Amino acid sequence: MSHTSSLPPVISLWPEGAPGALGTSPNDIPTLTAYLPAPEKRNGASMLVLPGGGYGGLASHEGKDFAGWLASHGITCYVLQYRLGSHGYHHPCMLNDAARGLRVVRAFARRDGLDPARIGIIGSSAGGHLASTLLTHFDAGQPGSSDPIEHESSRPDLGILCYPVISGVTFPHQGSFINLLGENPPADLVRHLSNELHVTAQTPPTFIWHTAADPTVPVENAFLFASALRAAGVPFDLHVYEKGGHGLGLPSTNKNAPPWDADCLYWLRQRGFLTPM
């Protein structure tokens, strides 16, 4: 990864090939796509964006749309194309891609004069599960690695979870877990990736929103993670809106979506990720 003032639009996470890759097609190459704020708006914060899609696809309205929205508020954004169950991948490939993505974004922040201590993650639905997995299964980096990217911590500084899949044990979204783990996975592996069970005091502050009427991922998933954060003493915002379905995206492009974007911007400002008004 060369030191340049302008980022390429699409960045391979592992230029020499991803660990565990099954081939060399675009489906086998996890990437980041950069969405950069105008230079005069850039505020030093960065965000890794994880679209949803049940670990079987990647929903662009939860990727580029979210990145464009946050970039318009000064946050440097990168949309992660992570490997999917529909292409033959299972855990830990998805988590490895997300962790590597976070490390790359942090390394880029250092390189580009941004703040390496303001690196957030936003994920929707199954992308919310992947985000919550990284929020609870991060590491401090590998200082002995020959790859400087691996020296970086994979711990996000905050998380945003949009109608997230959280648990494979309680109120699970079965399709996501089948794509993630395959059919009939061991019970201990399901528990390992039921992220409400792995929140600690080190879990980053998290904003969570869901709708009570969600017919796809039960709202109890949001309650489970928020309750675990509360028990661990981790700051959080929880917003449950009465009406609305699943996969809603932004209110600006979907009139059925609640005004979560305004609530989220308020929270990001409180957390120091936006320039105060």
The model's confidence at residue 69, banded by pLDDT at 50, 70 and 90, is very high
CB 7 within 8 A of CB 108: yes
Task: Report pLDDT digits (tens) over 158-204.
Answer: 999 999 999 999 999 999 999 999 999 999 999 999 999 999 999 99
27-41: average pLDDT: 96
As a whole number of Å, the CA-based R_g of the chain is: 17
The model's confidence at residue 5, banded by pLDDT at 50, 70 and 90, is very low
Round to whole Å and give the CA distance between 271 and 244.
Answer: 27
Task: Report pLDDT digits (tens) over 82-96.
Answer: 999 999 999 999 999
The model's confidence at residue 9, banded by pLDDT at 50, 70 and 90, is confident
pLDDT at residue 7, as a whole number: 56
pLDDT at residue 3, as a whole number: 42
pLDDT at 8 over 70: no
Round to whole Å and give the CA distance between 132 and 215.
Answer: 21
pLDDT at 248 over 90: yes
pLDDT at 277 over 80: no
pLDDT at residue 4, as a whole number: 43
Quote the pTM value: 0.96
Residue 245 has a CB neighbour count (10 Å cut-off) of: 14
Task: Report pLDDT digits (tens) over 122-153.
Answer: 999 999 999 999 999 999 999 999 999 999 99
Between the alpha carbon of residue 170 and those of residues 130, 220, 232, 242, the distances in Å are 17, 8, 19, 21
Sign of dihedral through CA atoms 105, 106, 112, 115?
positive
First CA to last CA distance, the chain: 36
Look-up: residue for tokens 């990437």? 31
pLDDT at residue 2, as a whole number: 39
31-45: average pLDDT: 96
pLDDT at residue 95, as a whole number: 98
Domains of the chain, CATH where assigned: 10-270 (3.40.50.1820)
CB 50 within 8 A of CB 98: yes
pLDDT at 236 over 50: yes
Token duo for residue 8? 């390429």
